[in-house]
Structure 1
């Protein structure tokens, strides 16, 4: 893991944890796909919490010099934040259970729970 990857990943995990995201899981994608090196999946307790987590994460990343793109803020049941080397998915619990990204990527990558 490069220093840049480590710093970005730790910043994302810490920001989500500090803002009470639940069930934070990091999936190592290196060598499995070209979309990113890591995927972080987390849950908020409600649509409002998901939106707040996404806003805070985007703000924190911007303050630390990272550019992001995102989508899903309008409904806020699933917000995707692309931080280049790390893709972040923030879900409402029922949407996370339905799509079950951990299971889909588990066969291709190593899971790390925070």
Structure 2
């Protein structure tokens, strides 16, 4: 069940000191995935550590990573198909404000 998968992801991120974790449910919205998980890393190197933990733990449980975007330590993306995980440093999270964009999807202008 997708809710259990989300719960597991959030727990892994919390255990590794990810901050301000937000889960956005986009089912039924015009977006490329059903859920987005956003987390803040303490520093850039922490971003890679969070991604490494997710890959190690989730792959062992049968999760498939369709792709990762990890060129910048300030914003890393992990694509699990129906779940997209965004790992930001604090400054980039504030700068791009992805939560506000995602929360306005499907709402009338």
Same fold by TM-score greater than 0.5: yes
Q: Using the TM superposition, give the Cα deviation of residue 83 of structure 1 relative to its aligned residue in structure 2, in angstroms.
A: 0.9
Q: Using the TM superposition, give the Cα deviation of residue 34 of structure 1 relative to its aligned residue in structure 2, in angstroms.
A: 4.5
**Does residue 71 in structure 1 map to residue 69 in structure 2?**
yes
Runs of 4+ in structure 1 off by over 4 angstroms are none
Gaps of 5+ in 1: 110-114
CA distance in 2, matches of 1:15, 1:37: 20
| Greater mean deviation of Cα atoms: 88-97 or 32-41 | 32-41
Q: Using the TM superposition, give the Cα deviation of residue 51 of structure 1 relative to its aligned residue in structure 2, in angstroms.
A: 0.7
Q: Which residue of 2 aligns with 1:32?
A: 29
Q: What is the correspondence of 1:34-113 to structure 2 with a 5 Å cutoff?
A: 34-68=31-65, 69-72=67-70, 74-108=71-105
The structure, 1 or 2, with the larger RCO (C-alpha pairs under 8 Å, 6+ apart) is 1
Q: Which residue of 1 aligns with 2:6?
A: 9
Cα RMSD (Å): 1.2
* Structure 2 contact 76–88 (Cα < 8 Å) conserved: yes
* Structure 2 contact 30–105 (Cα < 8 Å) conserved: no
Write the deviation string for residues 92-111 of structure 1: whole angstroms up to 9, x where unpaired: 000111100011111227xx
